Amino acid sequence: MTTGEGFSTRAIHGARVPEVRQIPASVPIYQTATWGFETQEEYAEVIAFERPGHTYGRGYGNPTVEAFEAVMAELEGTEAAFAFSSGMSAIHAVSLALAVAGDRVVVSRELYGGTYALFSKVLPRYGIEVEEVESHDLEAVRAALPGAAFFYVETIANPRCTVADLEALASSCRDAGVPAVIDNTFASPWLCNPASLGFDFVVHSVTKYIAGHSDVVAGVVCCSAQARSTVQGVAIEVGGAMQPFDAWLAIRGLQTLEVRLDRQCRSALILAEMLAGETAVSAVHYSGLVSHPQHERASKLLRPGYFGGMLSVEVSGGIGGAAAWCEALSTAWIGASLGGTHTLVTHPASTTHRQVAASERAARGLTDGLVRISTGLENIEDLLADFSHACRTVRLG
């Protein structure tokens, strides 16, 4: 390729990519948006996916991103994966890959507020009708499925942590010939592999447990190789593909997913048991509690003995009680997101699920006193002391 004598020319072309024969322990970050070719024909063939290679950073492929996609497909047990710049761009791309104007899609009523907003506000603008169903009512789901472009549910639903009968939902979709899409963010591939239950598309907000350190926003879709091409097509046309540094952070995060989530699940269970005995808390939503209505189902669907690092509680005193409780915490932070090293509390009705109209919230269990907890990696003794203190504050207040 080019050479020249001028200072800038030498500065631009002098840094040759080294030929490395050893395999580095950390996947290199290919922080480049474009690639060179010897011939125009080679460029034309690579951009048309007629021969392997790389062209451009908007979803055409990048070695660091591909390394992340490969490990995600491996961990989810799917043929392939395609990575995005956020969980929402992943969910948006799957929606556009499966549905067109005039289609109807069937979605669970219990979803992350951002997903609810995509389905209730954005898809209708594309001419896609969105029908909500109670995912725990199999008959209602089965009645709604025929003719739908896809079905959508969360493994552990945000924010009340319910677990639907995922196997039955996937097999109902198969019977009706409807692609089944699941958001596996709360569970992560360590707790559940929904493809093995019959789901066709497994999406993640990589931002959460997978990257795990609250320092990256990213998403991924795990699916068949054929479906990947369609999803990739959306990313190329619409944008939103994952970028190399984010892929590097996500690859690094995945390496400790098991050890992090093992601790987070254990802490969540201890915390749930403690909070269940507190009078300041009228209900604890955590499927690890034997008293939880879906305890048995979660025991079968999730990794044996583990129920996730997320729980939610109903704090007495409505919105005022919930605010006082959250503000009395000091080890746990009030903040957005989940799945990181810091324990975070969120008041869904005013933040993550603010898109749900006030008149709709009660029917969805988004009560004024509901607080969602993402258990971090702090020492459990400190977390117990912190949450006990918050309960005492609300009781006395």
Ligand X SMILES: Cc1ncc(COP(=O)(O)O)c(C=O)c1O
For ligand X, the binding residues (CB under 6 A) are 86-88, 112, 114-115, 154, 158, 183, 185-186, 205, 207, 217, 219
* Structure letter (DSSP) for residue 51: S
CB of 4 to ligand X, least distance (A): 44
CB-nearer residue toward ligand X: 86 or 375: 86
> Choosing from 109, 160, 208, 263, which is the catalytic residue?
208
Interatomic CA distance for residues 377 and 375, integer angstroms: 7
Beta carbon of residue 115, minimum distance to ligand X (angstroms, whole number)? 6
Taking residue 122's Cβ as centre, other Cβ atoms within 10 Å add up to 15
Quick one: 103 or 183, whose CB is closer to ligand X? 183
Nearer Cβ to ligand X (117/176) = 117
Catalytic residue among 58, 104, 266, 354: 58
Nearer to ligand X, 205 or 294 (CB): 205
200 is annotated as an active-site residue: no
Q: Cβ closer to ligand X: 54 or 92?
A: 92
How many angstroms separate the CA atoms of 110 and 365, rounded?
9
Q: Which entry of 30, 60, 112, 306 is annotated as an active-site residue?
A: 112
Query: What Cα–Cα distance (Å) separates residue 243 from each residue in 74, 82, 379?
Result: 20, 12, 34
58 catalytic residue (yes or no): yes
Active site residue 361: no
Out of 103, 183, 246, 368, which one is annotated catalytic? 183
- Write out the E strands in 348-392: 370-374
Shortest reach from residue 154's CB to ligand X, in Å: 6
Tokens of 210: 């997978």
The reply to whether 112 belongs to the active site is yes
Report the relative pairing of strands 201-205 and 219-223 from DSSP bridges: antiparallel
Distance in Å, CB of 114 to ligand X, minimum: 5
Number of residue whose CB is nearest ligand X: 87
User: Least distance (Å) from ligand X to the CB of residue 95?
Assistant: 13
164 phi and psi angles, rounded to 5 deg = -80, 170
How crowded is the C-beta side of 330, counted as CA atoms within 13 Å?
5
Q: What phi-psi label fits residue 102: left (phi over 0), alpha (psi between -120 and 50 degrees) or beta?
A: left
Active-site positions?
Answer: 58, 112, 183, 208
